[in-house]
Amino acid sequence: VKSNSLIKEDECLDDLQLNGLMIIQKKKAFKFGIDAVLVANFASSKENDIVCDFGTGTGVIPLIFSAKNKFKKIYAFEIQTDIANLAKRNFEYNKLQEKIELVNLDIKNVVDYVGKSSVDVIISNPPYFKTGGAIVNENDYKAISRHEIKIDLEGLIRSGNEILKPNGSFYMIHRPDRLVDIMYYFRKYFIEPKLIQFVQPKAGKVPNLVIIKAVKNGKNELKYLPNLVVYNEDNTFTKEIDIIYGREG
Amino acid sequence: VKSNSLIKEDECLDDLQLNGLMIIQKKKAFKFGIDAVLVANFASSKENDIVCDFGTGTGVIPLIFSAKNKFKKIYAFEIQTDIANLAKRNFEYNKLQEKIELVNLDIKNVVDYVGKSSVDVIISNPPYFKTGGAIVNENDYKAISRHEIKIDLEGLIRSGNEILKPNGSFYMIHRPDRLVDIMYYFRKYFIEPKLIQFVQPKAGKVPNLVIIKAVKNGKNELKYLPNLVVYNEDNTFTKEIDIIYGREG
């Protein structure tokens, strides 16, 4: 069932190869990467859970997550109106608009929308880079997705603390060089890191991504999953990555 | 040159297999482990550096470190009088008492001994376990070495901040399940984690030790070394461990 009216001229339609899900993306903007897929797979929810995606972009995390989990509702927050509109069309295209609600809102204000201590699960693939002194275009989608222009890591975690229920989970993927920031702010805002997995491009290499599950008011004890290796020595994907991408057989 | 007068009846003399160094240990107390060897090898100093070991035990870290680095002086702090006496004899036995000074002092009070902002390098293999509600013998050497009875992680790092010069380094080995505590307290006391290496027993396993270099007033960016694997599949030591133990060929 192709609804071409939902797709604009500068956009393309890609197959997520998961339960028949399709995703509209900008031809020229950067497309979703392995990080969104990894955190969407790492996260989980239960039947009556309220789930939030902080900075949903084109909506790829809720799309993948919804195919693999039971939940009551997903609120997908996106501050940029253009891309929020695209995410909304993605949920409509896949007939998921009843279960996944796009909310065009600043993450700093999510508590006004969902209410205090009301959310079971937060997922986020946030901007990885500090703005530092670099000049960035404040209206550039790619820049806003990659740099902490609209919100920084502390703001993201502070908002998470406001809306999470006690024992609610915050799943985040980020760059390993920010790990001290991540742990410091989670602890500061009472969301305790409980499970961590480093992702490395090949065996014997240093990690280039880290996935964390943190739990509101959780006990202080961090557990580890074995590092996830993306490529074999011959540059094919490892078995573990094939399983995540649904190519296991 | 064996000086038997330095060795008591309940003690034994072991060969460190490094520059002819020997170590006196208690026959019945637990002996130094791979963690002390790893952190002593991970740390480094320069010619005029003042170095401190927080909780030296029998003095194994200063002994190994002194064989591989230039430095002006090492202060080896140990709160337990019996074991401090043993460490002192170890430095004397190896004729290192001019370079390594045993100080029988609570780490909370090290600033009174060495002075504020006076130290270039701190090394520590601290007690790994919280005391929790468990009953522990306050005079049991093994319990004090393993549990945070005399000092906890925050106290250790607070003392480090008092005595470290700006840009001074704090090297620590600990258990990975305490990583949030480690990063939170280092950041809280202005000693920024800069380099990290996880140690795992075998390939594909989760880490059971973590080694960190943190720098006073350092810039916020954590770098990684590839994980250190201890055993091959056939339970022999890996090449990397053989190199650290000086058995490389």
Beta bridge partners of B16: none
Q: Which residue has the tokens 């069932």?
A: A1
CB-CB contact of B59 with B87 (8 Å): yes
| DSSP per-residue string spanning B4-21 | GGGS-TTEEEEE--STT-
Residue A48 confidence (pLDDT) above 70 = yes
Q: Does A226 touch chain B (CB under 8 A)?
A: yes
Residues 6+ apart with CB under 8 A from B149: B127, B131, B136, B138, B143
How many whole angstroms separate alpha carbon A15 and alpha carbon B195? 40
Helices (H), chain A: 34-42, 60-68, 81-93, 110-114, 141-146, 153-163, 179-188, 239-244
The DSSP H or E segment spanning B181 is: helix B179-188
Nearest-CA residue of chain A relative to B221? Answer: A177
Q: Could you report the per-residue pLDDT of B103-113, keeping only the tens digit for each?
A: 999 999 999 99
Q: Does B179 touch chain A (CB under 8 A)?
A: yes
Q: What is the mean pLDDT of residues B202-228?
A: 97
Residue A241 confidence (pLDDT) above 60 = yes
The DSSP H or E segment spanning B84 is: helix B81-93
* Lowest model confidence (mean pLDDT) among A60-69, A238-247, B151-160, B172-181: A238-247
- Between A145 and A181, name the one with better pLDDT: A181
Q: Could you report the per-residue pLDDT of B220-246, keeping only the tens digit for each?
A: 999 999 999 999 999 999 999 999 988
Q: Does A98 touch chain B (CB under 8 A)?
A: no
Average pLDDT, chain A: 92
Burial of A8 from C-beta contacts in 10 A (0-12 / 13-18 / 19+): middle
pLDDT recorded at residue B136: 65
pLDDT recorded at residue A26: 87
Q: Does B248 touch chain A (CB under 8 A)?
A: no
How many whole angstroms separate alpha carbon A24 and alpha carbon B177? 41
User: Which of A14, A3, A19 has its CA nearest to residue A65?
Assistant: A19
**Region label for A68, one of left (φ > 0), alpha (ψ between -120 and 50) or beta (otherwise):** alpha
Q: What is the mean pLDDT of residues A90-106?
A: 97
* Structure token digits, residue A196: 């961590």
B180/A192 Cβ within 8 A = yes
Residue B248 confidence (pLDDT) above 70 = no
A176/B221 Cβ within 8 A = no
